Amino acid sequence: MRTYTLSCFMCGQENSEDLTNTYCTACGGVLTVRYHGSSPAIQYPLETVATDELRTQPTELRKLHNLSRRYGIEIWGKLEYQNPSGCFKDRGSFIEVQKALELNRDAICLASTGNMAASVAMYACYYNIPCYVFVPENTAEGKLAQASIYNATVLRIKGDFSACEQLCKAFARSGNYYLAGDYVFREEGQKSVSYEILHQQEHDFDAVLVPVGCGTNFGAIHKGYHEALQAGLTKKIPALICVQPETSSPVVEGIFKREKVIKPSVTTMATAVAAADPIDFHKVQKGIEETDGRAFTVTESDILESLQEMAVSEGIFTEPACALPLAALKKEQRWFTGKRCLLMLTGTGLKDTGVVARNVLPSPVLPNDVAQVIDFIESGYPQLQRESFGKPRDTVLTQIRFSSDKQERFEDYLNRIGKKGKTLTPRETEAIQTLVFNDDSDLNFPLKVTDYTILMRKNGLVAASVLADMGGTELETSHEGVGPLDAVLGAMDKLTAVVFPVSLVDHALEVLSPGTNALVVASITLEHNGNQAQGKAASPDVIEAGLHAWIKAFAVLHKRYAQ
Ligand SMILES: *Cc1c(COP(=O)(O)O)cnc(C)c1O
Ligand SMILES: [Zn+2]
Q: Cβ distance 553 to 526 under 8 Å?
A: yes
Judge if the beta carbon of residue 215 lies within 6 A of ligand 1: yes
Nearest to 66 by CA among 301, 305, 316, 300: 316
pTM metric for this prediction: 0.77
Distance (Å) from CA 263 to ligand 1 centroid:
18
Distance (Å) from CA 197 to ligand 1 centroid:
18
Nearest to 366 by CA among 381, 376, 358, 380: 376
Query: Residue ranges per domain, the chain?
Result: 1-37, 50-354, 360-438, 448-561
Q: Rounded CA gap, 455 and 294, in Å? A: 71
Predicted pLDDT of residue 542:
87
Q: Rounded CA gap, 547 and 541, in Å? A: 10
Q: Cβ distance 137 to 159 under 8 Å?
A: yes
Nearest to 341 by CA among 246, 240, 270: 240
Predicted pLDDT of residue 212:
98
Predicted pLDDT of residue 113:
85
Distance (Å) from CA 280 to ligand 2 centroid:
14
Predicted pLDDT of residue 361:
74
Please give the number of the atom of ligand 1 that sits closest to the Cα of 81: 13
Predicted pLDDT of residue 403:
65
Give the number of whichever ligand sits closest to the CA of residue 20. 2
What fold characterizes domain 448-561?
Answer: Double Stranded RNA Binding Domain (3.30.160)
Query: Counting Cβ atoms within 10 Å, is residue 193 exposed (0-12), middle (13-18) or buried (19+)?
Result: buried
Predicted pLDDT of residue 410:
80
Strands 74-79 and 107-111: unpaired
Q: Rounded CA gap, 514 and 286, in Å? A: 49
**Domain 50-354 in CATH 3.40.50.1100:** yes
Q: Rounded CA gap, 293 and 291, in Å? A: 5
Judge if the beta carbon of residue 17 lies within 6 A of ligand 1: no
Note the pLDDT tens digit of each residue in 63-107. Answer: 999 999 999 999 999 999 999 999 999 999 999 999 999 999 999
Q: Phi, psi at residue 537, to the nearest 5°? A: -155, 160
Predicted pLDDT of residue 358:
79
Distance (Å) from CA 328 to ligand 2 centroid:
34
Predicted pLDDT of residue 359:
82
SS3 sequence of 354-414: HHHHHHCCCCCCCCCCHHHHHHHHHCCHHHHHHHCCCCCHHHHHCCCCCCHHHHHHHHHHH
Predicted pLDDT of residue 396:
57
Please give the number of the atom of ligand 1 that sits closest to the Cα of 319: 13
Predicted pLDDT of residue 424:
78
Judge if the beta carbon of residue 251 lies within 6 A of ligand 1: no
Q: Rounded CA gap, 453 and 510, in Å? A: 24
Whether 50-354 and 448-561 share one fold: the answer is no
Q: Cβ distance 535 to 513 under 8 Å?
A: no
Give the number of whichever ligand sits closest to the CA of residue 14. 2
Judge if the beta carbon of residue 270 lies within 6 A of ligand 1: no
Judge if the beta carbon of residue 181 lies within 6 A of ligand 1: no
* Regions of the chain where pLDDT drops below 50: none
Give the number of whichever ligand sits closest to the CA of residue 114. 1
Helix 324-331 vs helix 300-314: crossing angle, to nearest 10: 100
Distances 547 to 16, 36, 485, 509 between C-alpha atoms, Å: 75, 81, 8, 12
Amino acid in the structure at residue 492: M
Which residue, judged by its Cα, is nearest atom 13 of ligand 1?
A: 347
